[in-house]
């Protein structure tokens, strides 16, 4: 829409220019839409504006010039964070097909000034600190699908929209998120984005968008417009009218007029939301006035369609907007560009202004001709990469089917729905799993943008990127496995970097179970995936230092002051693996003092395994662990002294937990070099074995451990086994003793008749009630054996004849057994 907006001519404007009213074209768009982006680019070429205004944080103006840098490649996002609390942050994402990005790049290419005109990020983040949700403005709500707060990095809870347009956070991690909360007044199209744009994604504490209880939902204006046009699906109407247009034209004037009518009929917002809306639009108008006053004669304004009527035509008095903006909350912030991912542009990620199909929209925007056919070729390539038999004939038939479906439904072009149905029917043979593969790879996609080195950043991030380049670790959104051999310097440095980052809360890499079977400790496997929210995590971690090792050391030392004893020992293990020698001394001093004061035996026992594992790193990483060995020795001594009193009068659940703790400590102690602590531990177990008050599961396990280490001979262990099953103990106690002794392996029974005979005799002599009582325990014990072990035990029982037992013939009713035998034969696949 082209509108003449009168303004008082400044003194430095020539008279001939002052006699001509400036031209202001307001382009109401949807945040991520290829048709809107194409229309904006065409309108800018036609208008050739002096200044371009874009809905976005006003304090990000210095970053707009970087759009000319070829290394700034979308998807990217503007990141604003509070300098006093970096975890409080907000994102403004951009894709190639975002109208705002096209406006930025057009202005950069034509050397035209660009200004962002929305509220500054300081006001956006300050709105979150007053104890209430910042309201959603208009459906351009960009739910925060990537940012996190430091106190919520574990995924608990989500912050509401930063400036009122954001609606929650990413559902990550993974990202099994499905949808975001619909903002209080957010008009949305079926793609989730609404016709507006430019509002931030707040950095919040979790993965689940919050409910907006008490907020009445404004009627979706796109749905109303679609209904007026005879469409039942608002997304289909929007795509047919705007996004699928190939001529570059867009009904900006019509959309602005329609939105004006809808705004007049819309129900009123809650007071604080209405105030926030009014401030946003007042700030946009004030920015427009300032541009016109500076002498601009042709101004392009790219904003969400819902805001367009507030900026079009004659503006209200400037004094009114100044009064509205008086008392605007502020907060010190910093802004920068960060990489973004295609999947985080998707509505399903929790991004309120997202689209369902960023990959498809990118294809619509970048493909000039044969859109459907070229898409089918890409789909065929994805399926062929999975060794599926997809030929060119499949692509041709799928294209024809999509075109036919569009004609039948009265659509000008095949949309994603028609294309998807054709792919499912022709290329995937109706298999939804294959269709999900196509959706993940193409329809959504996982492209990661890049930012140039000239982008302002915190020193910690600069150090991280430099280290990553040196170690040839690329920031990539697509998860990939990285196998490391710690005997190699580069691989060891990679492992060290990833572990240091994890200590800082930057989970770029996740340890995996190695696919290479090895008994050594020199192999590690990591899964790497760089997610946008990690940029916030890096900024948040910058408070601890300017380099990765320095920041990790500072944070570890600070964390150690409040960590419980088991957590403290785990931290020692992490510090050794991350090669942070400056943190190790402080940790060991704290650990020694904490162990001396801690009287909880469970804490002492839980602390040992991690410390012993940490000792082993000296074999591969060359870390000196002399001080650590001293602490471990002291911890073993304290555990041995406290254990006899800790095992008295335990109920079944407590005894089972203590059994597991004893197993863990025993495994840890036996890993160490022979010495006095190992002898002390075995002597402590020997002292427990003969105690009559020991729970059955513990007594059995202690006997087993003593037998495995040779402290008890095989014959002594068998004698104790038989004694435990003799008359005098209750059947449940006997069953618990058996569980404690046998849990973990059945080969003992298969190979040792001295153990099998008393067990077999005891089970055979149980009466019906006793057998019923002990059956669950026995099933739990034998159910833990591997199938081959159970088979070996059964063979051993068949070979064993109890003293005095005779094998008598058994009469079988063949007619009664026939159905059962037939069922067994069917299961085994044999004929009778």
Predicted confidence (pLDDT) per residue in 631-675, tens digit: 788 788 888 888 888 888 788 888 888 888 888 888 888 877 777
Asked if pLDDT for residue 620 goes beyond 70, the answer is no
The pLDDT value given to residue 149: 30
- Among 542-551, 583-592, 609-618, which stretch is predicted with the lowest mean pLDDT? 609-618
The per-residue DSSP string of 225-267 comes to HHHHTT-S-HHHHHIIIIIT--SS---HHHHHHHHHHHHHHSP
Helices 601-616 & 626-646, crossing angle to 10 degrees? 150
The pLDDT value given to residue 283: 94
Rounded-to-integer distance, Cα 104 and Cα 102, Å: 5
Average pLDDT over residues 180-193: 33
The pLDDT value given to residue 272: 79
Predicted confidence (pLDDT) per residue in 403-417, tens digit: 999 899 888 888 888
- Among 121-125, 358-362, 776-780, which stretch is predicted with the lowest mean pLDDT? 776-780
Predicted confidence (pLDDT) per residue in 690-742, tens digit: 788 888 888 888 888 888 788 888 777 777 777 777 766 677 777 777 777 77
The pLDDT value given to residue 676: 67
Average pLDDT over residues 425-443: 86
> Could you tell me which residue, 208 or 225, shows the higher pLDDT?
225
Structure tokens at 517: 């079977």
> Could you tell me which residue, 372 or 725, shows the higher pLDDT?
372
Asked if pLDDT for residue 401 goes beyond 90, the answer is yes
Average pLDDT over residues 181-197: 34
Q: Do residues 785 and 793 lie in contact, with contact meaning Cβ atoms separated by under 8 Å? A: yes
Asked if pLDDT for residue 307 goes beyond 80, the answer is yes
Sheet hosting strand 480-485, strand order edge to edge: 480-485, 523-528, 509-512
Model confidence band, residue 118 (pLDDT cutoffs 50, 70, 90): very high
- CA atoms in the 13 A half-sphere facing the CB of 288: 34
Average pLDDT over residues 321-337: 89
The pLDDT value given to residue 600: 75
The pLDDT value given to residue 133: 41
The pLDDT value given to residue 87: 73
Q: Do residues 361 and 33 lie in contact, with contact meaning Cβ atoms separated by under 8 Å? A: yes
Asked if pLDDT for residue 679 goes beyond 90, the answer is no
Helices 626-646 & 652-671, crossing angle to 10 degrees? 150
Out of 182-191, 231-240, 618-627, 634-643, give the one with best mean pLDDT.
634-643
The pLDDT value given to residue 129: 58
The pLDDT value given to residue 290: 94
Predicted confidence (pLDDT) per residue in 493-552, tens digit: 999 999 999 999 899 998 887 554 544 567 889 999 888 778 878 887 887 888 899 999
Average pLDDT over residues 431-459: 83
Model confidence band, residue 773 (pLDDT cutoffs 50, 70, 90): confident
Asked if pLDDT for residue 774 goes beyond 80, the answer is no
The pLDDT value given to residue 192: 34
Asked if pLDDT for residue 305 goes beyond 70, the answer is yes
What percent of the chain stands above pLDDT 90? 18
The pLDDT value given to residue 112: 94
Rounded-to-integer distance, Cα 544 and Cα 555, Å: 6
Rounded-to-integer distance, Cα 548 and Cα 541, Å: 9
> Could you tell me which residue, 629 or 471, shows the higher pLDDT?
471
Peptide bond just before 58 cis, omega within 30 deg:
no
Average pLDDT, the chain: 76
- Among 65-79, 318-332, 585-599, 683-697, which stretch is predicted with the lowest mean pLDDT? 585-599
The pLDDT value given to residue 720: 77
The pLDDT value given to residue 735: 77
Rounded-to-integer distance, Cα 439 and Cα 420, Å: 9
The pLDDT value given to residue 754: 65
């Amino acid at each position: 829409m082209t509108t003449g907006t009168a303004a008082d001519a400044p003194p430095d404007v020539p008279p001939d220019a002052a006699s001509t009213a400036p031209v202001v074209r307001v382009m109401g768009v949807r945040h991520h839409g290829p048709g809107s982006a194409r229309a904006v680019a065409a309108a800018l070429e036609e208008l050739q504006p002096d200044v371009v205004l874009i809905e976005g944080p006003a304090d990000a103006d210095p970053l707009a010039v970087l759009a000319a840098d070829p290394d700034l490649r979308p998807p990217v996002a503007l990141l604003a964070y509070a300098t006093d609390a970096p975890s409080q942050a907000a994102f403004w994402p951009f894709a190639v097909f975002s109208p705002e990005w096209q406006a930025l790049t057009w202005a950069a290419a034509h050397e035209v000034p660009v200004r962002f005109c929305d509220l500054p990020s300081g006001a956006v983040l300050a709105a979150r600190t007053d104890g209430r949700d910042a309201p959603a403005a208009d459906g351009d709500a960009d739910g925060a699908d990537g940012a996190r707060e430091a106190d919520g990095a574990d995924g608990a809870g989500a912050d509401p929209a930063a400036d009122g347009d954001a609606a929650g956070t990413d559902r990550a991690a993974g990202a099994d998120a499905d949808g975001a909360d619909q903002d209080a007044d957010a008009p949305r199209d079926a793609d989730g984005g609404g016709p507006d744009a430019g509002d931030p994604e707040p950095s919040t504490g979790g993965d689940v968008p919050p409910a907006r209880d008490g907020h009445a939902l404004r009627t979706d204006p796109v749905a109303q417009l679609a209904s007026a046009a005879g469409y039942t699906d608002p997304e289909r109407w929007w795509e047919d009218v705007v996004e699928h247009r190939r001529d570059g034209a867009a009904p900006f004037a019509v959309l602005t007029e329609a939105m004006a009518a809808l705004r007049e009929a819309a129900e009123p917002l809650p007071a604080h939301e209405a105030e926030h809306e009014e401030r946003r639009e007042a700030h946009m108008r004030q920015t427009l006035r300032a541009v016109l006053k500076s002498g601009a004669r042709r101004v392009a304004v790219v904003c969400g369609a819902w805001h367009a009527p507030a900026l079009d035509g004659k503006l209200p008095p400037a004094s009114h907007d100044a009064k509205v903006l008086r008392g605007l909350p502020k907060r010190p912030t910093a802004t920068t560009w960060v990489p973004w991912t295609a999947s985080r542009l998707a509505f399903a990620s929790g991004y309120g202004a997202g689209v369902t199909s960023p990959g498809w929209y990118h294809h619509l925007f970048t493909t000039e001709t044969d859109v459907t056919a070229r898409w089918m070729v890409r789909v065929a390539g994805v399926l062929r990469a999975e060794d599926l038999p997809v030929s060119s004939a499949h692509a041709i038939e799928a294209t024809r089917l999509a075109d036919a479906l569009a004609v039948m439904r009265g659509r000008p072009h095949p949309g994603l729905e028609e294309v998807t149905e054709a792919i499912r029917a022709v290329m995937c043979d109706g298999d939804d799993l294959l269709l999900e593969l196509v959706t993940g790879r193409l329809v959504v996609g996982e492209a990661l943008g890049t930012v140039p080195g000239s982008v302002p950043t915190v020193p910690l991030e600069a150090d991280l990127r430099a280290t990553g380049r040196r170690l040839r670790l690329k920031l990539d959104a697509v998860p990939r496995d990285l196998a490391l051999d710690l005997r190699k310097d580069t691989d060891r440095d990679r492992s060290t970097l990833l572990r240091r980052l994890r200590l800082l809360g930057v989970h770029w890499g996740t340890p995996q179970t190695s696919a290479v079977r090895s008994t050594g400790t020199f192999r590690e496997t990591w899964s790497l995936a760089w997610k946008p929210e990690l940029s916030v995590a890096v900024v948040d971690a910058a408070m601890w230092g300017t380099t990765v090792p320095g920041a990790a050391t500072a944070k570890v030392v600070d964390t150690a002051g409040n960590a419980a004893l088991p957590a403290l020992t785990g931290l020692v293990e992490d510090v050794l693996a991350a090669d942070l020698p400056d943190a190790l001394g402080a940790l060991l001093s704290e650990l020694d003092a904490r162990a001396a004061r801690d009287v909880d035996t469970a804490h002492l026992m839980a602390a040992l395994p991690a410390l012993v594992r940490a000792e082993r790193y000296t074999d591969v990483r060359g870390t000196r662990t002399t001080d650590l060995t001293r602490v471990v020795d002291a911890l073993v001594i304290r555990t041995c002294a406290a254990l006899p009193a800790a095992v008295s009068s335990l109920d079944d659940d407590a005894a089972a937990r203590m059994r597991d703790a004893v197993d863990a400590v025993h495994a840890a102690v036996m890993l160490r070099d022979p010495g006095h602590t190992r002898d002390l531990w075995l002597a402590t177990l020997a002292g427990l074995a003969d105690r009559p008050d020991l729970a059955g599961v513990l007594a059995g396990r202690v006997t087993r451990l003593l037998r495995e280490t040779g402290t008890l001979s095989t014959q002594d262990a068998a004698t104790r086994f038989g004694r435990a099953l003799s008359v005098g103990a209750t059947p449940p106690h006997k069953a618990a003793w058996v569980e404690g002794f046998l849990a973990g392996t059945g080969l003992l029974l298969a190979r040792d008749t001295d153990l099998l005979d008393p067990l077999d005799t005891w089970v055979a002599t149980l009466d019906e009630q006793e057998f019923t009582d002990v059956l669950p325990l026995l099933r739990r014990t034998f159910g833990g054996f591997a199938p081959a072990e159970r088979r070996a035990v059964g063979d051993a029982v068949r070979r064993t004849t109890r003293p005095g037992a005779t094998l008598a013939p058994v009469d079988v009713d063949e007619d009664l057994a026939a159905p059962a035998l037939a069922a067994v034969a069917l299961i085994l696949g044999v004929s009778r």
